[in-house]
Copies of this chain bind each other. A is one copy, B any other.
Amino acid sequence: MTNPGGRLYGIGVGPGDPELITLKALRILRSVPVVAYQSAVDKESIARKIVSPYLDNHQIEVLFHLPRALEPENAKSIYDREVQPIADHLAAGRDVVVLCEGDPFFYGSFMYLFTRLADKYKTEVVPGVSSLMACPVALGLPFTYYNDVLTVLPAPLPIEILTSQLLTTDAAAIMKLGRHFSKIRNLLHELGLASRARYIERATSTQQRILPLDAVNPLEVPYFSMIIIPTKNKL
């Protein structure tokens, strides 16, 4: 049963370039009175920055903080608290757009709001261009084709899982590198995959950087970085 409050929208705003938002996401963004987005404490919201050319200062903005690296169990009470201002707007009958970097259901923190609110308020989700697609394109690397197996791996995973997954796939993307970069680079060298692997950070944004794997300074690797290992099969 949805109550007669506002509508909740989770919209993918794409990987970084404001022009990589969809027509649908932009239409919805411009139609609602409340725009919510997350940010780490003291940091600019990446999602808000992406859509800043489209905001006209007539909308109420709601910032929430969802810590990224937290174990899901520990995060529960924080999410319960952070969702409250959004729930209040919905309860008051105001539609709320939640901005999601990339795509909302693909490793997106919007899911923590969705599971708390979608049973109470009419909810619509708009898929977006994910960094999984944007990074190979920015690198100029045809990524997967024909009957390739593709594996997406978050870098914080244990080395044994990363190893067995990388050895049994045709193409891979390794996300959330941050402080795990050295571990990943060493592993790729060990597995003979380093020559196929390409590094990119903040793809499609004005701060995009592409570096040879061995030229990356591990102390400067942001969370929004990716290693792409394109298909090992011949196109």
Which residues on A are within 8 Å of B, measured CB to CB? Answer: 12, 14-15, 17-24, 26-27, 72, 103-108, 111-112, 114-115, 118, 125-130, 132-134, 136-137, 140-154, 156-157, 161, 164-165, 168-169, 204, 233-235
Contact = CB atoms under 8 A, between A and B. Distances in A.
A132 B150 CA distance: 12
Contacts of A107: 144-146, 148
Given A24-B19, A129-B129, A133-B103, A154 B165 contact: no
A21 B25 CA distance: 10
A152 B146 contact: no
A136 B144 CA distance: 20
Given A19-B22, A20-B127, A128-B129, A145 B108 contact: yes
Contacts of A12: 129, 133
Contact of A146 (B26, B129, B143, B154): B154
B126 A22 contact: no
Given A106-B133, A115-B235, A130-B133, A149 B153 contact: yes
Nearest to A131: B127
A151 to B, nearest CB: 5
17 contacts: A18-B23, A19-B22, A19-B23, A20-B24, A22-B22, A23-B23, A72-B146, A72-B234, A103-B137, A105-B133, A105-B137, A106-B132, A106-B136, A128-B133, A147-B157, A151-B152, A151-B169
